[in-house]
């Protein structure tokens, strides 16, 4: 199975079913050699690679026409104690206008990049809590979100069932890694 979009030297690619990312440095008949961030060269078949998309430019909030009444849930609110809590709905239709032409990998990548940016921003702002709304579904997004969270100084658990049902994760952020 060949890629629908041809690969060229210099293209940024990701390896399917792996965490490797790199740049194409050589294209042979059946194999493509990529240079990864770790400095090593790896050879793969074309079917094992996908073009890497840069999501930074695509992540923009949806602006509803009636700003005052358009959003059902506010992205940020204050708890009873007055601390700022950020809510992020990771459903794909909440992140972009149209998902047309996106593969499941593209959608998941966008959702995880949004979660990562929110998490890092919240840590930088010294916030204490973030709620990620991921929905129930097959559980793929939740598993990947938990994998992402394990790399940060946080503690997480299912969010309030009465407020969010079974499809949200509450994350408590620590500013001092020694507290974990």
Residue range(s) of every CATH 2.30.30 domain in the chain: 12-51
Question: For 108-156, what is each residue's pLDDT tens digit?
Answer: 999 999 999 999 988 888 888 999 999 887 789 999 999 999 998 899 9
Least confident of 41-50, 104-113, 135-144, 169-178: 169-178
- Cα–Cα distance measured from residue 170 to residue 85, given in angstroms and rounded to the nearest whole number: 10
- For residue 178, the model assigns a pLDDT of 53
| Fold for the domain defined by 12-51 | SH3 type barrels. (2.30.30)
| Fold for the domain defined by 67-179 | Ribosomal Protein S8; Chain: A, domain 1 (3.30.1370)
User: Does this model's pTM top 0.75?
Assistant: no
Residue range(s) of every CATH 3.30.1370.110 domain in the chain: 67-179
């Amino acid at each position: 199975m060949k890629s629908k979009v041809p690969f060229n030297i210099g293209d940024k690619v990701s390896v399917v079913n792996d965490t490797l990312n790199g740049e194409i440095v050589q294209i042979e008949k059946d194999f493509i050699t990529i240079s990864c961030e770790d400095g090593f060269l790896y050879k793969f078949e074309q079917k094992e690679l996908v073009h890497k998309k840069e999501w930074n430019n695509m992540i923009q909030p949806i602006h509803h026409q009636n700003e005052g009444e358009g959003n059902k849930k506010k992205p940020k609110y204050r708890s009873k104690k007055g601390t700022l809590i950020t809510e992020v709905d990771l459903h794909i239709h909440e992140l972009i206008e149209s998902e047309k032409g996106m593969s499941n990998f593209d959608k998941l990548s966008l959702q995880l990049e949004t979660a990562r940016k929110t998490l890092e921003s919240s840590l930088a702002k010294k916030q204490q809590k973030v709620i990620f709304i991921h929905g129930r579904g097959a559980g793929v997004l939740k598993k990947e979100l938990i994998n992402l969270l394990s790399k940060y100084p946080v503690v997480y658990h299912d969010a309030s069932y009465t407020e969010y049902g079974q499809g949200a994760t509450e994350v408590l952020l620590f500013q001092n890694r020694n507290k974990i």
